[in-house]
Amino acid sequence: MADELFRLWVYLSSTPLAGLTLTLVAYAIGYAAYARCAFHPLANPVPIAVAVVVGALAATGTPYRTYFEGAQFVHFLLGPAVVGLAVPLAREWESVRRLAVPIAASLAVGSVVAASSAVAIAWALGASPSTLASLVPKSVTAPVAMGIAERIGGLPALAAVLAVATGVIGAVLGRYVFDAAGVRDLRARGFALGLAAHGIGTARAFQVDREAGSYAGLAFGLHALLASLAMPLAVAAWLALAA
Amino acid sequence: MSPLLAGLTWLLVFQSAGEAIAVATGLPVPGPVIGMALLLVAQRVRQGRDAEASAPLGVAADGLARHLSLLFVPAGVGVMLHATRLADEGAALAVALVASTLLALAAAALTFQALARRTAPDGGGDPPSHG
């Protein structure tokens, strides 16, 4: 009996089914907790789901690579989700066009502040060069951050983790920062969430208000576009100046 | 075809077009970001006409947007690959991430709000219109 169970487990854990199922079950647990807490920002579902998955993998001795064979199907959907951000954007287009100046300025200021302050603080605290390079794209969505990190001497997998952590931090703290700074405009709050905390901030903004969500999606998409063009150039220029 | 399936198909078609353009032109921009720009243009061109035809896109895009957080779980689990580095540099990273995210949120939101008041003073303190 135990032998058969073991063989069944070996079979199941060697197919992508296990990783995929575990991801969805863990997210269902995280989302249920989030809903139970009346969608309070502190109960963000991502860290809960990550903790459940990491716990399950550690308990069964499953390596990340095996897990990702199944989880990649969920990860893959980030692509179509980014494409789909065009839909709320088209809905809000008239107001977006009128706000071109605040959008461009907020994008530029937010992007520079996010990347430079993260690198400066980590450098002052003694982080290694490859960690610093992985920190540069931390406010950009995970798959794009991985590509940028690779081109500037960072570690793609670490950049993805730092991006997810940043997204969670932004989604959790956004409300408190905006209230403290006296920002009541929902479009400004949404835009800042998408800019600083990419998809996880955007999910949070949609949770609060549909218009805020649209502006978050706009910032999330624009930041991915700007960062993939500008960050490699900015880092190359900085290294040339420093040398 | 169900609206969800039709919408997802359109999203994948636009993503594929975006990836093709990224590879063909050698631009460092990710394919999905180009796909998003193409879809936005397509929706603006067809604006007003065929509201029925673009409904499936709304279903698929809203469905993905509503659970965007789920899509970040696999990348987040990658944290287990970096246990050593996190033990060595975890404190520096935590301080850097929290402080920089606070600064970026405040800087982006304050910049947007200050300039939006000047360009479109009507929208400043709108009450939330949905939930």
Domain ranges of chain A: 1-76, 79-243
Q: Are residues B6 and B62 in the same domain?
A: yes
Is residue B128 domain-resident?
no
How crowded is residue B74: how many other Cβ atoms within 10 Å of its Cβ? 28
Is residue B109 domain-resident?
yes
Q: Are residues B23 and B56 in the same domain?
A: yes
Question: What pLDDT digit, counting tens, does each position of A59-102 carry?
Answer: 999 999 999 999 999 999 999 998 998 888 888 888 888 999 99
Beta carbons of A161 and A103 less than 8 angstroms apart:
no
**A31/A35 Cα distance (integer angstroms):** 6
Are the beta carbons of B119 and A72 separated by less than 8 Å? no
Structure tokens belonging to residue A28 = 């269902």
Is residue B131 domain-resident?
no
Q: Are residues B90 and B116 in the same domain?
A: yes
Q: Are residues B47 and B107 in the same domain?
A: no
Is residue B1 domain-resident?
yes
Are the beta carbons of B69 and A93 separated by less than 8 Å? no
Q: Are residues B8 and B52 in the same domain?
A: yes
Tell me, yes or no, if B20 comes closer than 8 A to chain A by beta carbon.
Answer: no
Q: Are residues B54 and B17 in the same domain?
A: yes
Choice between A109 and B3, residue whose per-residue pLDDT is larger: A109
Asked whether the predicted pLDDT for residue A40 surpasses 80, the reply is yes
With contacts defined as CB-CB under 8 Å, which chain A residues touch B15? 79-80, 82-83
Are the beta carbons of B105 and A84 separated by less than 8 Å? no
In this prediction, residue B122 carries a pLDDT of 52
Is residue B125 domain-resident?
no
Q: Are residues B50 and B111 in the same domain?
A: no
Beta carbons of A115 and B72 less than 8 angstroms apart:
no
Question: Which residues 53-82 of B have a C-beta within 8 angstroms of A?
Answer: 57-58, 60-62, 64-82
**B22/A154 Cα distance (integer angstroms):** 22
Q: Of B54, B46, B65, B50, nearest to A83 (Cα)?
A: B65
Q: Are residues B39 and B91 in the same domain?
A: no
Are the beta carbons of B115 and A101 separated by less than 8 Å? yes
With contacts defined as CB-CB under 8 Å, which chain A residues touch B70? 23-24, 27, 31, 45, 49, 74
Q: Are residues B15 and B54 in the same domain?
A: yes
Mutate to test the interface with B, among A29, A75, A87 (most CBs of B within 10 A): A87
Q: Are residues B61 and B98 in the same domain?
A: no
Beta carbons of A206 and B65 less than 8 angstroms apart:
yes
In this prediction, residue A112 carries a pLDDT of 96
In this prediction, residue B130 carries a pLDDT of 41
ipTM of this model?
0.89
Q: Are residues B26 and B82 in the same domain?
A: no
Indicate the number of domains in chain B: 2
Tell me, yes or no, if A52 comes closer than 8 A to chain B by beta carbon.
Answer: no
Q: Which domain holds residue B78?
A: 73-120
Give the number of residues written for chain B.
131
Question: Which residues 156-175 of A have a C-beta within 8 angstroms of B?
Answer: 157-158, 160-170, 173-174
Tell me, yes or no, if A103 comes closer than 8 A to chain B by beta carbon.
Answer: yes
Region of B26 (left: φ > 0; alpha: ψ -120 to 50; beta: rest) is left
Helix (H) or strand (E) holding A42: none
Are the beta carbons of A99 and B120 separated by less than 8 Å? yes
Asked whether the predicted pLDDT for residue B74 surpasses 90, the reply is yes
In this prediction, residue A174 carries a pLDDT of 96
**A85/B29 Cα distance (integer angstroms):** 16
Mean pLDDT score of chain A: 91
Tell me, yes or no, if A48 comes closer than 8 A to chain B by beta carbon.
Answer: no
Is residue B130 domain-resident?
no
Asked whether the predicted pLDDT for residue A30 surpasses 90, the reply is yes
With contacts defined as CB-CB under 8 Å, which chain B residues touch A81? 61, 64-65, 68, 71
How far A177 CA lies from chain B's nearest CA (Å)? 6
Per DSSP, helices labelled H in chain A are 2-13, 16-36, 45-60, 64-76, 78-84, 86-91, 93-98, 100-124, 129-135, 142-151, 156-181, 186-208, 210-242
Tell me, yes or no, if B45 comes closer than 8 A to chain A by beta carbon.
Answer: no
Q: Are residues B82 and B26 in the same domain?
A: no
Q: How many CB pairs below 8 Å do chains A and B form together?
A: 364
